[in-house]
Every structure is written in structure tokens, then in C-alpha cells.
Amino acid sequence: MKADLFQHAEKVFLFDYTTHLLRYLLLAGLAYLAFYLLFRRKALPRKIQKSFPARAEIRREVLYSLLSFAIFAGMGVVTMVLHRLGWSHIYFRIERHGWAYLWFSLVLLIVLHDTWFYWTHRLMHWRPLFRVMHAVHHRSHNPTPWASFSFHPTEALVQAVIFPLVTLFLPLHPLVALLWLTYMTAMNVLGHLGYEILPSGFASHSLFKWQNTSVHHNMHHRRVNCNYGLYFNFWDRVMGTNGDGYEEEFERVAAGGRK
């Protein structure tokens, strides 16, 4: 029994690590290829900071990201163990809850994760925790897409544990996990892109202003003590933690001016 569990855990870990790595290489890799290599000169007016990071910084971002994926894959194993114990609400037949619930659970998972991220991220900016958990990520003052998962292992653990925790009370299908992880990776890449691709007026639009932008997270890397949100600009607006001049800076970059 134990040998079977170990073998299954090993397969889950390898599968999860490989899929995390492939998403990272595909999304971050394509973004880097497009904006930093192929179309660098054409995209330059939308570059948020004038400078480009050194190769050593990019290597550090990649190496820490590879380490983070091991933590994320480990949480996949934890989720599997919880399922084996009968504690999680993972289900495999869509008809059990229907397609409407599947899409609802995806939206709810994204909202829950955004809330989790804001508050844990803000907590990690408390000085004693910042030094041991979050300082690694902030070594990227001018981040590239490769910085998307450049976390200290303890920070990676905090961000990865949300999924097994949610399965303890919310029925989730593996397809929801796949879509959420793809969305999370895409939004992380967008936040660390180093370029603003959204149009002028987006950050101050009555509807779209609730969505985060590349400028929003790039400002966080420069100033440190503001702009804690991941997907949405909800908690930062409600809690007053948007950086001063965020919308003005967005307009400047969207119009072709850089910091």
C-alpha cells in the first residue's frame, strides 16, 4: 500500500512539475521572445523602464522559478493525498455537478486566489517576513517575464497551498485546476512583462480599472510598498494601497513615454 502510494505520488509530482515548466516556458518564453528579442525596437515605446536587466538577473529569475515549480508540484502531491484520505472535494466526472458549476467554480477559485494573494503578499511585506520570504522576488527591480515565479521556497509554499486548502471545502474538477493555472501563469507573465500592452484609458475606465496591468505590478517592484494585487485592482483600491500616480503613469507609458 505504501509503495503504491509512493509510486503514485512520484508520478503526480513529475506530471505536475512538467506541466508547470511547460506553461512557464511557453508563456514566459514567448513573451520574452516577442518583446525582448524579435520586436524589441518596435515595442520600445511601451517599455515601462528604460533599462534592461542583465543576463545574470534573468538566470536568477529562471533558477528560482524552477525551484518554485518543485513546491507547486509538491502541493499537487498533497492534493492527491487529501483525495486519497477522502478529505478533498476533487471530482472527475463533469456531469456530477454540471458545466455551469464548473465555470462558476473556476471564477470563484480565481476570486479566492486573488484575495489570498493580496493579503498574504501584503503580510510578506512586514519587515521580519520580507527578509526571509519575499526579498528574493524583489531582487528583480526591473522584472522580465522570467520573474513570474521567481520566489523563495517559503513564498512559493504560501502561494501554492491555496489549491489544496480550497479543495477541502469546494468541489473542483481537474479541468478547473488546469484553466486556473494557465490563467495564473498568463497574468503573472503580464505583470512581469516590463511592457504595457493595454490601451490608453484602460486603468481609469469605469469597468476595466478593476483589472491589473503591467504598469501596476512593475510599480510594485520599483516602490515595494504598494500595488499588492495579482489579478484584479479591487483590494488595492478598497484598501488604499494603489501607488500614488498609478493611473497617470499608466497613461504615460500607454502613450509611449517610459519611466
CA–CA distance, 30 with 53 (Å, rounded to integer) = 18
CA–CA distance, 193 with 1 (Å, rounded to integer) = 46
Residue 215 lies in a domain: yes
- Structural domain count, the chain: 1
Residue 211: phi and psi, rounded to 5, are -100, 135
Residue 160 lies in a domain: yes
Alpha-helical runs (H) found in 33-130: 40-43, 55-84, 98-123, 127-129
The CA angle 180-182-186, to the nearest 5 degrees, is 115
Cell numbers 511557453: residue: 26
Grid coordinates of 174: 481537474
Which residues constitute the domain of residue 103?
2-254
CA–CA distance, 235 with 241 (Å, rounded to integer) = 8
Residues in the chain: 259
One pLDDT digit (tens) per residue for the chain, 259 residues: 566 777 888 899 999 999 999 999 999 999 999 999 999 999 999 999 989 999 999 999 999 999 999 999 999 999 999 999 999 999 999 999 999 999 999 999 999 999 999 999 999 999 999 999 999 999 999 999 999 999 999 999 999 999 999 999 999 999 999 999 999 999 999 999 999 999 999 999 999 999 999 999 999 999 999 999 999 999 999 999 999 999 999 999 998 865 5
Residue 259 lies in a domain: no
- The 3-state DSSP class for residue 232 equals strand
Residue 212 lies in a domain: yes
Cα-based distances in Å from 124 to 41, 143, 177:
37, 19, 25
Residue 31 lies in a domain: yes
CA 173 to chain centre: 20
Grid coordinates of 126: 512586514
Residue 148 lies in a domain: yes
